[in-house]
Structure 1
Amino acid sequence: MARQERAVRTRQTLVDAAASEFDRSGYHGTSLNRVCRAAGITMGALTFHFSAKDELADEVQSQGQLITRQALDGLPERSAPALHRAIDLTLELARLLEAEPVVRSAARLSRERPDRDLAWSAAWLTNVQDLFDQAYHDGQLHSAVRPASLTALSLYLMSGIESQARADHESPDAEPELSAVEQLRQIWGVVQFGICGPPGTGC
């Protein structure tokens, strides 16, 4: 059992180190040697768990998806209008991108390895789309606003938050004026002036 526990810890240490390297340098800029040095683990130990860089990147993306789904499942149940819940969901995504290297890395790898069936957005995009659809059917949105446009906007916003969060982590001494979550909250505040339906619709 002790040997099995050590193997599990070693594997996770490698994944965490790889996530930080992929987040910083991207898939093509990351070597297995650098992952080993960052993890303090030999190349032999790495190849015992992952036979190729592709396998290691797959695991990072899978864990990024899992962390995201678990975080969204853990959001408190609210009786708020669907539009508010959709915005709350994106704020949680922003928090994850800011706080979790594995999530940030999964988002980056999704762009750099589009041929893999492990897109980070698969962990949340349907949830957001369903909430925007509900908001539209509930009359919360202006009649000219389409839910698909808001779903696309969410993708663009997450890409921007990801880039900003990465830049903030690369310059830890430069304290940002606002957190990624607060920046996104303010952006949504501006957006709602243009997308909401008539007063009294719960917008």
Structure 2
Amino acid sequence: MRTRNHLISVAAAEFDRNGYDGTSLSRLSRSADISIGAVTFHFSAKGELASAVENAGWSATRRVVEGVTARGGPALDTLSALVLALGRLVETDVAVRAAARLTQERAGAGPEWCCCWLPEVRDLLEQAAAQGQLDPEVDPRPVAVLTAHLVGGVLARARRSRAGRPGEVTGELGELWWLVRRSIAAAPAERPAEGRAEGSAEGPAGSEMPK
């Protein structure tokens, strides 16, 4: 089991860096310092290893999504917390980045990575509109598309900035999301009376959206 998990971890880094076509089992064998025979004992083909990496990235993402949405509170605050949590996850978890890349590049891959979080983004935007938290002229659907593009940009930045300062990419996302939120939120007088739920705009690590 340790060898299998080590292979998945090494493969995630290789797939994230080089993509599916740019990664071979022999390359993985060298990177993991494991014989090619041991690699094929656990994964008979590169596609099997890629599927294991995709599953690891998907599971990690679902844990974050479910953890944030389970807190409840005003929908727009929950959405903000989810966006920032996804940014932190993408920046810190190579399996998540690899899964996002593999599900776009690999023939026969499972659903694209965004499918495990974008439906919640759409639902939260619809809830925010129903609760009067969005400007009446804002259509939730293009905001969901914009959010997907923002997270996609974080993926690209995190992949290029592996040697950057920890938290740098997530910080950039926080600044951009603050601009988005300010442009879509209802004016203060139009916000519902219940106000903010304490801590509802925080992600798993306690990072709060700027006001």
- 1:73 Cα deviation from its structure 2 partner: 2.7
- State how far apart, in whole Å, the 2-side matches of 1:129 and 1:52 are: 37
Alignment match, 1:53: 46
Matches of 1:68 and 1:114 in 2, distance apart? 22
1:151 and 1:160 map into 2 onto residues whose CA distance is 14
Q: Which residue of 2 aligns with 1:4?
A: none
Structure 1 residue 182: Cα displacement:
1.5
Q: Which of 156, 166, 171 is 2:159 aligned to?
A: 166
User: What TM-score does the superposition give when structure 2 sets the normalisation length?
Assistant: 0.84
The CA deviation at 1:138 is 0.9
Contact conserved, 2:69 with 2:78, CA < 8 A, in 1?
no
- Alignment pair present for 1:104 and 2:97: yes
**2:117 matches 1:124:** yes
- How far residue 139 of structure 1 moved from its aligned partner, in angstroms, is 1.3
Cα drift, residue 87 of structure 1:
1.4
**Partner Cα distance (2:150, 2:188) in 1:** 26
- For residues 154-185 of structure 1, the C-alpha deviation after alignment (integer angstroms, 9 at most, x for no partner) is 1111110011111111xx2x547x62222111
Counterpart for residue 188 of structure 2: 199
Comparing 71-80 with 130-139, greater Cα deviation is found at 71-80
Does the alignment pair 1:34 with 2:23? no
| TM-superposed deviation, 1:77 | 5.1
Q: In 2 relative to 1, CA 141–76 (structure 1 residues): closer, same or farther, beyond 3 Å?
A: closer
Structure 2 spans left out of the alignment, 5+ residues:
197-211
State the structure with bigger RCO (CA 8 A, min sep 6), 1 or 2: 2
Q: What percent of counterpart residues are identical?
A: 42
| Superposition deviation, residue 81 in structure 1 | 1.7
**Which AA in structure 1 matches 2:188?**
P
Q: How does the TM-score come out when normalised to structure 1?
A: 0.87
Deviations 1:107-136 (A, max 9, x none): 111221365223211221111111111001
Name the residue aligned to 1:5: none
C-alpha distance in 2, partners of 1:45/1:84? 48
1:69 aligned partner: 62
Shift of 1:31: 1.1
Match of 1:189? 178
Counterpart check, 1:154 vs 2:147: yes
Q: Is the 8 A contact 2:102 2:109 kept in 1?
A: no
CA RMSD, 1 decimal: 1.9
